[in-house]
Structure 1
Amino acid sequence: MSAPPELPAIVSRAFDTSRRAGYVSFCRNETGRLLAALAATRSGTLAEFGTGTGVGTAWLRSGVPEGARILTAELDPRLAEAAAEIFTDDPRVEVRAADWSTLRDQGPFSLLFLDSGTPAEVTPDAVADLVEPGGLVVLDDFAPCEMWPPLTGGRVDTLREQWLTDKRFTAVEVLIASDAAALIATRR
């Protein structure tokens, strides 16, 4: 068994910040590597709704090409402040201590990273107009599901079903670990 790949320096700093803040709900490395790879294909403005302490933001930043920028919003001011410290000297990343709706007028985005933990706020209807044609939406924190309709906890996973069937997007569920999946949707 080989050692896991080394983390980008910005991601290591974000993990250190999370530990100091006592925050343990952050982007998994598997999701992070997916974000970095997808960010590397984007230009313009990328956004994240729900910064936490900036681990997902750091993964995005580790892949984003020159000329692109990242906007991220975190409702908890303490977490937003911790995340902002990571990117103090980086003019390409802006962390806002605010509800994600404050980013609505900053789009459309070339990539939008969402946490599936707040289903009503991350439906295709809620965010479709925030993504440019050809832009990507990435949702994490799904348990893998091999059936249709998708089930989670014995119930139909309506959020996953909405994203996989919405006509404005071409979407796929991607297994990122044996116990984790993400959805990637491209705006038509």
Structure 2
Amino acid sequence: MDDTPSVFPATVPGLRAAAGRSGFTMSCDARTGGLLAVLAAARPGGRVLELGTGVGEGTAWLLSGMDDAARLISVELDIAVQTVAREQLGSDPRVTFVAGDGGEWLDDYDGEPFDLVFADTWPGKFTHLERALELVAPGGTYLIDDLLPQPDWPESHKASVKRLLGEVEGRGDFRSVRMAWASGLLMAVKTL
């Protein structure tokens, strides 16, 4: 069975072309994107947080699954790459783009928790993990990707991934599952 999504958001080809022109190589894997769309669709009127907009491919997948009442906040440190997402997706009233350090944003955020948190950058994953997990609503989902070894990983990164997986899986307030699929995922649902 081919596990590549058969339907893509209409904006993905343009986002991929823009990523190629800018040299951005860390866009969301299509299989991960398909999962994001399904997770967003499972939360009508949901509150979604994306840490690491990049050029917006993950954002496009999230938006494709969200209903009209759902809302997405997408945070990115690199304003140059996020500008691509803003240009192609910024007219959608369901998304709010935040340009700035994800760790600082997590520290400063004092709003309601989220039904889905997708941590696709260091803050919320390798740093500020506890804060990101605090912001997941009961019954909500925390998803991280890029956990399978990559050729460009420094040797120390493998230990960081192992430590991260142990921290999330060792929690009593989340139920989690590893998926050796796409770029390597861990999905956790808040049970308390």
- Quickly name the TM-score band, shorter chain normalised: 0.7 to 0.9
Residues 38-80 of structure 1, C-alpha deviations (whole Å, 9 max, x = no match) = 1111133101111111111111111112200111011011112
Match of residue 147, structure 2, among 119, 142, 151: 142
Aligned length: 178
1:36 and 1:61 in contact (8 A); partners too = yes
Match of 1:38 in 2: 39
Partner of 1:95: 97
1:183 is matched by which residue type in structure 2?
L
Q: Which AA in structure 2 matches 1:19?
A: G
| Counterpart in the other structure of 1:9 | 10
TM-score, normalisation: structure 1: 0.83
Q: Which residue of 2 aligns with 1:58?
A: 60
CA shift for structure 1 position 153: 4.3
CA distance in 2, matches of 1:3, 1:182: 15
Partners in 2 of 1:3 and 1:137 — Cα distance? 22
Task: Output one character per residue of 1:138-175: Cα deviation in whole Å (capped at 9) or x when no partner.
Answer: 0001118xxxxxxx847870101111121111111123
**Does residue 127 of structure 2 align to residue 121 of structure 1?**
yes
Distance, in Å, in 2 between the alignment partners of 1:78 and 1:69 is 23
Is the partner of 2:145 in helix, strand or coil? strand
Greater shift in the superposed pair: 87-96 or 111-120: 111-120
For 1:18 and 1:98, the matched residues in 2 are separated by: 20
1:27 aligns with 2:28: yes
Deviation of 1:86 (Å): 1.4
Identity of aligned residues (%): 36
Matched residue type, 1:13? G
Aligned residues of 1:140 and 1:181 also touching (Cα < 8 A): yes
Q: Any idea what SS the aligned residue of 1:65 has?
A: coil
SS of alignment partner, residue 11 of structure 2: helix
Taking the aligned partners of 1:50 and 1:154, their CA distance within structure 2 comes to 22
Task: Look up the SS of the partner of 2:139 in the other structure.
Answer: strand
Aligned letter for 1:78? A
**Correspondence for 1:148:** none
Structure 2 length-normalised TM: 0.82
Structure 1: gaps of 5 or more residues? 145-151
Tell whether the 8 Å contact from 1:116 to 1:141 is kept in structure 2 after alignment: no
> Residues 34 and 14 from structure 1, CA distance in 2 versus in 1: closer, same or farther, beyond 3 angstroms?
same
